[in-house]
Structure formats: structure tokens, C-alpha cells
Amino acid sequence: MKKTLLILAIAVLALSSCEKENVKPTQSDPVTLSCVRPEYLKTGDTVALISPSYFTPMENVQLTADLLRSWGLVPIIGPNVGKVVDGKYAGTVDERTSDLLWAFDRPGIKAIICNRGGYGTIQLIDQIPLSRLSASPKWLVGFSDISTLHGLLSRAGVMSMHGTMSSFLAQGGTDETSTLMRDLLMGQVPRYQLPAHQQNLLGTASGVLVGGNLCTFVPNIGSQADATMGRDLILFVEEVGESMHNIDRQMRILKMNGVLDRCKGVVLGEFSDCGSEFTYENVEAMIRQIIEPYGIPMLCGFPAGHGDINLPLVMGAPVTIDVRADGATLQFDIDGQQRDINVTDINGSKTSLGLRLKMAGKRL
């Protein structure tokens, strides 16, 4: 009997030891995100156009290529761009992954612009080695469903750009959304000045900018595309076509996973065509109720996302927000020629939200 008990005790200790060795970091074990800035572009540099999510008409891709040439850049189109799978996707998972890795692996390519979002980048997460992204840091530009790729790049230690895509560049590229993106790629770093907003929470904070489209990046929690596991975060959130209750649900998921505990501040972008089934004055007022107990600043009304103005943001970059009663500033603490941008002076593109949604689906 004693011998049996001794064997059981040894087995339990061995099992406990094995379990401890196999414990993986959880959301309670935040890391420090430290991202390098890719080199700024110069005249003659090559820029790849790829479609990692939904299909984009080749006409839009060609028009964007023409625009890049007018900017003094050399466009190159991904090998699988133009394909359509299952009526929506811009190729199979392997084909879309292949184009992304092709753009990062090819030495002559200096930046990557996504043709559109939609849906599908979550399918690529397990196919992309982070080491392939960090080996050759390059600017990747996009928004909406491309938020997944921003998370991957932040985890790989590379800054990226939340900015406009071929879906809109094809319209001419003369609006401030497009030209500011171009200028940032070439080293003119915006320092945004914003008007006061009724739902702002005042204060100053610095941290690493993460986030993007709320319903795109929240499902990535726990994956290698989860940049919210970092500490000292400035969280950026935008949405389109979602109900208030689903926005609340996503924010509660961030809270329950400890993300908001790790935030130094919050930036709310556009909430375009979102529901109003509750009596909150707006989406910002609803989110304010969640953020206010944390005692951190919240900057509301930043014109980025699915609205007519989509100002570029550097994801994975150290950023400082200063939210005051008379207005706010958002500044990237990175090298480059700093340039003051008063957002009240910026005009939106002439494409209405309704046309954008019709052209590209609910989530671009």
C-alpha cells in the first residue's frame, strides 16, 4: 500500500512539473512592444500592390499604379492580384499569403499598399512567420480588415501605416487623405491638432499605438496578431456598420482580457453608419462609460476609419496624446520631418459613405 501511494505521489509531481514547463504566456503577462520604423521612401522606390483580403477590380489597381508613377514611385502588382475565389476573396489563403510574403521577401520592394480590406486576413495569421516580416522592415499600408496585418507587424517589431488603399487611391489621389499618406511614406510626419470633443476625457499620455477596426482586431486576441498584449498602450478604435450593442460587446471583451488595464490612453476614430438602438448621445458616449473608470485620457473624433477623411496613423509607433478642454494633439514620437496638421482645415473626399459601402461592402 505504501509503495502504491509513493508511486502515485511521484506521478503527480512529474505531471505537475510537465504542466509548469508547458505553461504559455497569457494576457496577464504583457510584453513591451518595440517596433522599428521602416525606411522612408524616395523617388524611384518600388511599391507593391497586393490584395490580402477581398477582391479589387483590376481597373482600380491599375489606376493606383498610375497614381504611384505620378508620385515618382515604381508600382509592382502582386502575382495573384486579380484572382477571385468563392466570389469575394482575392485568391486562396495560400495565394494571398504568398503575395504578402513575396512583397516582404523581395529586396527591391520598399513599401506595400493593400488594395482593399473586406474580410480574410484572419485566415492568414497562422501562415505568416513573424521572422519573415521582421527580417526586412517595410511600410505596409491599409485599414479595416488590414488591422490584422498591423497587429502581426507590431508583434514582429515593425511599424506600419493605418491609411488609405487602392479602393480610394484609384479615385485620383488628390484629397488630403491620400496626399498625407504619401507624404508620411516619404518622411513628413504629421502632428495632428484636433478640436475639442464633448466626450473627450482630459489628460496626457504616451504609449505604443495599437488597434484599428474593432471587430477585426478583437477576435485576434491570443493569436500572434494580438498587439494588445503589450503594455503601455494607446488604443485606437474605429468601426463601420455595427450596432451599438456589438461595439459595447467588443469593448467589454477588451476589458475582460485585461487590455484596458494596459492602456495609457484611447483614441476613438470614426464610427460610420453605426447603430443607435440605445439612448446614448453617440457611440463615443457609450464607450466613455467603459473608459472613464480607468482614469486615462480619451481623444474622440479622430478622422480615421471608414468616413470621408481617413488620416494616416503609424501603428506600433510611440505616440503622445494631449487632450485638453480647448482641443487635443496627437504626435508620433519618431524620426522624420514633423509637420503640424490642423484637422479642421482638411476637406473630405467627394465620395459619400453610401457609395463607399456600396462599392466595397460594409467593412472595406
Residue with cell 505504501: 2
The total of other beta-carbon atoms located within 10 Å of residue 186's CB is 18
The span from the CA of 362 to the CA of 359, in Å, is 9
The band of 97, judged by pLDDT with boundaries at 50, 70 and 90, is very high
* Three cell numbers written together for 329: 494633439
Query: Using alpha carbons only, how large is the chain's radius of gyration in Å?
Result: 22
Local confidence band at 30 (pLDDT 50, 70, 90 cut-offs): confident
Q: Which CATH class is domain 46-187?
A: alpha beta
**Does 8 score more than 80 pLDDT?**
no
Give the domain ranges of the chain: 46-187, 192-345
> What are 290-320's pLDDT values in tens digits?
999 999 999 999 999 999 999 999 999 999 9
Helix (H), strand (E), coil (C) string for the chain: CHHHHHHHHHHHHHHHHHHHHCCCCCCCCCECCCCECCCCCCCCCEEEEECCCECCCHHHHHHHHHHHHHCCCEEEECCCCCCCECCCECCCHHHHHHHHHHHHHCCCEEEEEECCCCCCHHHHHHHCCHHHHHCCCCEEEECHHHHHHHHHHHHHCECEEECCCHHHHCCCCCCHHHHHHHHHHCCEEEEEEECCCCCCECEEEEEEEEEEEHHHHHHHCCCCCCHHHECCEEEEEEEECCCHHHHHHHHHHHHHCCCHHHEEEEEEEEEECCCCCCCCCCHHHHHHHHHHHHCCCEECCCCCCCCCCCCCEEECCEEEEEEECCEEEEEECCCCEEEEEEHHHCCCCCCCHHHHHHHHCCCC
Q: Which CATH code for domain 192-345? A: 3.50.30.60
Nearest by Cα to 144 from 219, 216, 49: 216
**What distances in angstroms separate CA 112 from CA 71, 180, 324, one per listed residue?**
15, 16, 36
> Residue 32 — very low, low, confident or very high, per pLDDT cuts 50/70/90?
confident
pLDDT (0 to 100) of residue 11: 45
Q: For the segment 208-243, what is each residue's pLDDT rounded down to a tens digit?
A: 999 999 999 999 999 999 999 999 999 999 999 999
Query: pTM to 2 decimals?
Result: 0.89
